[in-house]
Chains A and B, each alone.
Chain A
Amino acid sequence: GESVGLHLPTLSVQEGDNSIINCAYSNSASDYFIWYKQESGKGPQFIIDIRSNMDKRQGQRVTVLLNKTVKHLSLQIAATQPGDSAVYFCAVSSEGYNKLIFGAGTRLAVHP
């Protein structure tokens, strides 16, 4: 079955730096990818998504890059702020509908 992995369980950055969080997936048939942010005591919050017919998508201070050749997904956060501190999950869909397979999550710590 599908599996989703993250390269680093934790990432520590300085305020104002750019952050990059990586994710790898196993199923080449995966065609929908989402990044979520989860703060303590809250449910995951939608950040940005991308479909397999694209390789880059930008939002407000965030960019998602998709490399289907190596089955790799990344989330870039520009000018990281203390409010960005949270656990970030990538999720992948490959079986249709809304069945998402989640990675283990990367904890982002932003230091002043």
Chain B
Amino acid sequence: KAGVTQTPRYLIKTRGQQVTLSCSPISGHRSVSWYQQTPGQGLQFLFEYFSETQRNKGNFPGRFSGRQFSNSRSEMNVSTLELGDSALYLCASSLGGDRYEQYFGPGTRLTVT
């Protein structure tokens, strides 16, 4: 069974631009969560989607948004990029329901210049 895939793997953007990252979960998984990983803050939860609905949200500004499609694929968008948004963005999928194990993709490395 294929794992979680994320595209693109690497991205360079300029301050003020916006970016969209994509995540395809493991087949059959209905929950997709997004995390930001930086050396200073570690792994931080952004949001979780289940059946196209956002179920949970972390403490990030409204510039960070996401959505999930009917096939469970998910996208996250960051608008008005700031230098501090440079990070590894990780997507994780799980079967759904209450706290099943989450499987992570390889991440998208975003660099903001």
Contact = CB atoms under 8 A, between A and B. Distances in A.
Interface residues of A, number: 26
Contact of B42 (A31, A96, A97, A105): A105
A49 B18 CA distance: 36
B-side binding surface: helix, strand, loop or mixed? strand
Interface residues of B, number: 26
Contact of A44 (B99, B100, B104): B104
Interface of B: 4, 31, 33, 35, 42-45, 48, 50, 55-56, 58, 90, 92, 94, 98-107
Interface of A: 31-32, 34, 36, 41-46, 49, 51, 89, 91, 93, 95-105
7 contacts: A31-B99, A34-B102, A43-B92, A51-B99, A97-B31, A97-B48, A98-B48
